[in-house]
């Protein structure tokens, strides 16, 4: 092979040696750029996922505050509806399976009495209840609530560890969201005190907020993590196996012991911190082992852990696509332009322009616009939720811009002007996105980010120079 190469004409040897050198150099450059882009894409993906998790938690907190206000308003309306407060009656009254002190509203005994409760439900759709404190327990004096078997809960105590029990015994109001039989309710508890200020009971109002939760679910369904990921929420219990999905497209209500897969491991990790990132290996539907990434954030109002994630390669696929674009561009430069430069001296200057701009705006331009959207947020240590979308939407305009500049410089200079205008618009849109996401002050204050900002502006100037070069205003 070496002898055959040595016997070839000098021009062919030079062409082959140049092609080989370019392939090696450009391949190494592509691998380096790809490695950096992959690493940056994963880092930004983690930051963007964390941003989405915090957004979901904030959304849950906002919904909680809204339904809590609704529950408080309904409670005040119930007080006005009654027009008077319950008072202690005489003696004990059989209430369910226990004897409880008599309580009356006007001349009407409330123990086990559903009349007022049903009338208010018919009027508003909300369920109410009267509670009484005895032996440091909170009993249901009158309620419409049924157990799983359909039996009345009258005379049954509320769990001692329940937050409503603790706050009522402390003489404080309590409101929160509870889930019963797949439906969500906002409950509000108001303590009743005697003339000495001692807590003797409470009343409660429970309103169905399933419509609010349906709207929340619909909003969350529109959020995407990568291509296949989705958001969900878990209620982490002390016994991890009792943890269950409070929000999920398919598994809502199921516990970690019921759901196969990595859920038990995820719940265990989520229980350790208020927020974080979990990476792990798992088999996809085809049986191939791939890496997954999950981010989570605890909602302080609900006590739920909201999470979302997907396969990590769904986040760096843009960087992978850029590798092939660079490789193709390099092969075009190495295999077509260089041989033509050496064999077609009459077309040397147009081909030289073609070669020049394929390198400066093709190789460098694709590399820059393929990495800057993920490198700058990484340098700042802040997420840019729009980075992946920007990369996906600007690929073809970038290709068109480079093609017009390259062809215009070699053949017809007005094409370069059109290409430069497109490329300047792309650079401008990226700068505008950074301004909207981070602000100029943050970008200018960070040294690394400012350098990347300057490089982006430089790319725009390079596009302008390409147009001027194609029109013959600059030499070289």
In angstroms, the CA 336 to CA 330 distance is: 10
Query: 387 is written with which tokens?
Result: 């980075």
| 404 and 470 Cβ atoms separated by less than 8 Å | no
Find tokens 């490329």 and name the residue: 423
Residue 355 has a pLDDT of 58
Q: Which conformational region is residue 293 in: left (phi greater than 0), alpha (psi within -120 to 50 degrees), or beta?
A: beta
Residue 158 Cα distances to 151, 153, 199, 274, angstroms: 15, 10, 16, 29
- Token pair, residue 223, equals 């959020």
Return d(Cα 322, Cα 330) in angstroms, integer. Answer: 12
Tokens of 388: 């992946």
* Per-residue model confidence (pLDDT) at position 141: 92
Q: What is the SS3 assignment for 204?
A: strand
The tens digit of pLDDT for each residue in 206-246 reads 888 878 777 877 877 777 777 788 888 888 888 888 888 88
Strand order in the sheet with 98-105: 87-95, 98-105, 108-109
Token pair for 384:
């840019």
Give the CA dihedral 405, 410, 415, 420, nearest 10 degrees.
20
Mark the ranges of the chain whose per-residue pLDDT is less than 70. 1-45, 48, 181-182, 315-371, 383, 385-386, 388-389, 391-392, 395, 408-411, 466-467, 469-476
Cβ atoms 296, 307 nearer than 8 A? yes
Closest CA to 110 of 101, 98, 123: 101
* Contacts for 299 with CB less than 8 Å, ≥ 6 apart: 57, 60, 61, 64, 233, 305, 306
* Tokens of residue 324, six digits: 């092939």
Instruction: Tell me the two tokens of residue 208.
Output: 């169905």
| Chain centre distance of CA 245 | 18
For residues 134 and 169, give the distance between their C-alpha atoms in angstroms, rounded to a whole number.
Answer: 10
Which tokens sit at 54? 């915090």
The H or E element that residue 101 is part of is strand 98-105
pTM of full prediction above 0.85: no
Q: Which helix (H) or strand (E) holds 75?
A: helix 10-82
How many CB atoms neighbour CB 438 within 10 A? 18
Q: Is the dihedral of CA 388, 390, 392, 398 positive or negative?
A: negative
Is the CB of residue 214 less than 8 Å from the CB of residue 243? no
The residues, ordered by sequence, that sit 6+ positions from 282 with a Cβ below 8 Å of its Cβ are 261, 262, 289, 290, 291, 292
pLDDT of residue 327: 44
- Cα 33 from chain centroid? 27
CA–CA separation, 140 vs 348, rounded Å? 95
């Amino acid at each position: 092979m070496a002898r055959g190469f040595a016997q070839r004409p000098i021009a062919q040897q030079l062409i082959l040696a140049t092609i080989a050198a370019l392939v090696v150099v450009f391949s190494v450059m592509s691998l380096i750029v790809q490695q950096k882009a992959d690493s940056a894409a994963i880092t930004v993906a983690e930051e963007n996922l964390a941003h989405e998790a915090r957004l979901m938690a904030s959304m849950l907190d906002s919904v909680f505050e809204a339904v809590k206000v609704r529950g408080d308003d309904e409670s005040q309306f119930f007080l006005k509806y009654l027009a008077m407060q319950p008072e202690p009656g005489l003696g004990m009254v059989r209430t369910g399976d226990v004897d409880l002190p008599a309580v009356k509203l006007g001349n009407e005994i409330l123990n086990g009495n559903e009349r007022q409760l049903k009338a208010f439900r018919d009027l508003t759709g909300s369920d109410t209840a009267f509670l009484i404190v005895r032996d440091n327990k909170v009993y249901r004096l009158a309620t419409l609530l049924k157990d799983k078997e359909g039996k009345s809960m009258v005379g049954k105590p509320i769990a001692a560890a329940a937050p409503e029990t603790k706050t009522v015994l402390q003489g404080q109001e309590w409101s929160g969201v509870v889930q019963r039989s797949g439906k969500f309710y906002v409950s509000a508890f108001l303590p009743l005190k005697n003339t000495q200020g001692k807590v003797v009971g409470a009343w409660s109002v429970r309103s169905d907020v399933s419509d609010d939760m349906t709207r929340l679910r619909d909003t969350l369904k529109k959020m995407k993590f990568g291509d296949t990921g989705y958001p969900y929420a878990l209620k982490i219990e002390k016994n991890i196996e009792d943890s269950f999905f409070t929000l999920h497209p398919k598994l809502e209500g199921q516990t970690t012991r019921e759901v196969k897969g990595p859920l038990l491991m995820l719940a265990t990790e989520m229980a350790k911190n208020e927020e974080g990132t979990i990476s792990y290996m798992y088999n996809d539907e085809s049986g191939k082992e791939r890496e997954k990434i999950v981010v989570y954030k605890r909602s302080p109002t609900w006590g739920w852990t909201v999470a979302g994630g997907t396969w990590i390669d769904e986040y760096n696929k843009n960087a992978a696509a850029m590798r092939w674009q660079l490789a193709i561009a390099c092969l075009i430069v190495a295999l077509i332009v260089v041989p033509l430069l050496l064999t077609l001296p009459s077309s040397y200057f147009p081909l030289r322009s073609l070669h020049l701009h394929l390198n400066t705006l093709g190789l460098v331009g694709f590399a820059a616009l393929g990495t800057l959207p993920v490198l700058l947020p990484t340098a700042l240590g802040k997420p840019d939720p729009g980075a992946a979308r920007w990369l996906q939407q600007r690929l073809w305009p970038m290709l068109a811009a480079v093609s017009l500049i390259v062809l215009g410089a070699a053949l017809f200079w007005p094409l370069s002007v059109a290409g430069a205008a497109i490329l300047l618009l792309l650079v401008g849109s990226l700068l505008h996105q950074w301004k909207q996401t981070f602000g100029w002050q943050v970008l200018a204050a960070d040294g690394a980010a400012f350098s990347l900002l300057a490089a982006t502006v430089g790319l725009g100037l390079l596009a302008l120079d390409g147009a001027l070069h194609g029109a013959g205003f600059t030499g070289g």
